[in-house]
Structure formats: structure tokens, C-alpha cells
Amino acid sequence: MTNDYVRPYVLWEVTRILLEADEPTLAIHAGSVALDGRAIVIAGVSHAGKSTLSGWLVAHGWGFLTDEVSRLEQSGEGWRVHPFPRPIGVRRPTPLEPFVQPEFGEATEILVPASTLGTLSGVADLTAIVLPERRPGASSTPTPAHPATAVRLLAEHLPKRASDGRAGFRTLVDLMQSVPVYSLHVDNLGAAERALRELVAGDVS
């Protein structure tokens, strides 16, 4: 096993231990970024481009919250996202290549410090959950996701779902009932970034 795989594995194990010691209201295996105090959670299946999209957004003015675990807290009728900063894990080649530090050499699995891409964000109000998917030729227009699809996908990304049991699932359903979830087919990252800016500004119905 090479260092390309050892470092991400060790970092995830440390993250898992911290999660088990912590008591967030809800923790989802997903990235989060914020713009003007309004956050989006970026979740999806493996290789969907979550980390690349998160990194691209941070490099273009969004604040970084997390690339690994989004810690959500219910606040009144809404939800807030707490920072859980750790490096952004990406596979090369990547559109983030211009921001990659030379010391990574020829490594194919790299951990890019978010501070090299942009700024870190504090606690932010959750505006939407976004489910990205790479799709050539797509228009990058966010479309409402089917609730059943969203619940199924997010349930698979609860690091503590085994110990949280029904209580964790009920919390997830509460989240789905109060926060909109969108599918986002991504071809051009610039177009996706512009679409998400409109989303957090409230210009997408």
C-alpha cells in the first residue's frame, strides 16, 4: 500500500474517532461550503466529484467548512453547519491542478489544504443540500431531488447511523422536511459555481 492511500485512510480513521467522541445533532459524510453566511452541503456517491466541486468553490470565493463530515445542528426552524476543517482529498488529474503544491509530486491521491485554495468559514446557516453528478453536456441547473432518493443517499452517508439507529434516521427525515435538496449535473465547474451562487441567493425555485 502506497502513501497515496495510507494518508487518506489514517486521516479518515482519526476523523471517525473524533466523531464517535463528539455529539453533533447530525453528522453526514459530505462536504460543506458557505457564501455570505449561507451554507450548502455537498453529498453524493463515491467519485461523483464532491471534493472537486467543493475545492473549486473555495478557490472561487466560497468559505470552506469541511470536505469530509458535515456537522449539522438544528436551530429553531432551520439548521446550521459547523466547521470540521481537514484537507480536501482529490484524485489526479484534477481541475484543481493549478492550486496543487509542487511537493505533491506525482502522487495520484492527494490532500490539499483548504487554506491554499481560499478562506475558512465559521458556522453558517444551511440553505440547501446538493447532490452533484458528473454528466457531460449538462447545463448545471439545480433541480429538486426526489425526497426518497435524497433520504436513501444521505442515510448511506451517516457515519454513526449504526449507533444512532432510529433516532438518527428520524433526525435525517426532519432535515429533509426543512431543507431543500437539489440534484446538480456537472459538466463545467464554472457554470456549476454560478448556478450555486444563484441558489444560495434565492434565485432558484
Residue range 9-37: mean pLDDT, rounded: 73
**What structural domains does the chain harbor?**
25-201 (3.40.50.300)
What distance in Å separates the CA atoms of residue 54 and residue 91, rounded to the nearest whole number? Answer: 13
What distance in Å separates the CA atoms of residue 142 and residue 144, rounded to the nearest whole number? Answer: 7
Cell of 108: 495520484
Q: Is the dihedral of CA 96, 101, 107, 109 positive or negative?
A: negative
What distance in Å separates the CA atoms of residue 171 and residue 115, rounded to the nearest whole number? Answer: 32
Percent of the chain with pLDDT over 70: 77
Residue range 159-204, pLDDT digits in tens: 655 445 666 677 888 888 889 999 999 989 999 999 999 999 986 6
Residue range 82-96: mean pLDDT, rounded: 83
Neighbouring C-alpha atoms within 13 Å toward the C-beta of 191: 15
Asked whether the predicted pLDDT for residue 39 surpasses 90, the reply is yes
Residue range 15-40: mean pLDDT, rounded: 78
**Using CB atoms within 10 A of its CB, is residue 191 exposed (0-12), middle (13-18) or buried (19+)?**
middle
1 confidence band (pLDDT: 50, 70, 90)? very low
CA distances from 19 to 27, 64, 82, 167 (A): 8, 19, 13, 17
Residue range 94-149, pLDDT digits in tens: 888 777 766 666 777 777 888 888 999 999 999 999 999 888 888 889 999 987 78
CB 141 within 8 A of CB 194: no
